[in-house]
Amino acid sequence: MTTTVDMPSELTIYTAADTLRKINDAYRQQRELTLDLARTHEIDTAGLQILMALKQQAERDQRQVFYVNHSAPVVKFLDFFNVSALFRDPVVIASGD
């Protein structure tokens, strides 16, 4: 069974601690976790670190973490840093972006 976590509109240094708590709570409860990025319209390197660290931890724990419904700003940010391929998730831009 998978749990879906709706990510906040800001995935930045200012929201990192709260977001990480929310993700970790869900991660502990399920073997599969899906993060919905449709609402995320601002992301910085702190947000990127959370996303990258979660994928790495899931790989070590032999779990699955998926990122879905990437907003246009998230796609632009991932492309800017050339890290989209690291996540190994299909990038489908959320409707309305």
**pLDDT tens profile 39-81:** 999 999 999 999 999 999 999 999 999 999 999 999 999 999 9
- The answer to whether the CB of 8 falls within 8 A of the CB of 50 is no
Instruction: Enumerate the H helices of 30-93 as residue ranges.
Output: 45-60, 72-80, 84-87
Domain ranges of the chain: 2-87
Residue 96, pLDDT above cutoff 70: no
Domain spanning 2-87: CATH superfamily: STAS domain (3.30.750.24)
pLDDT value of position 69: 93
Q: Considering the entire predicted model, what is its pTM?
A: 0.87
Query: What pLDDT is stored for residue 91 in this prediction?
Result: 67
Q: What is the pLDDT of residue 27?
A: 95
Amino acid found at 70: H
Residue 4: pLDDT over 90:
yes
**Kind and range of the H or E element at 24?**
helix 16-29
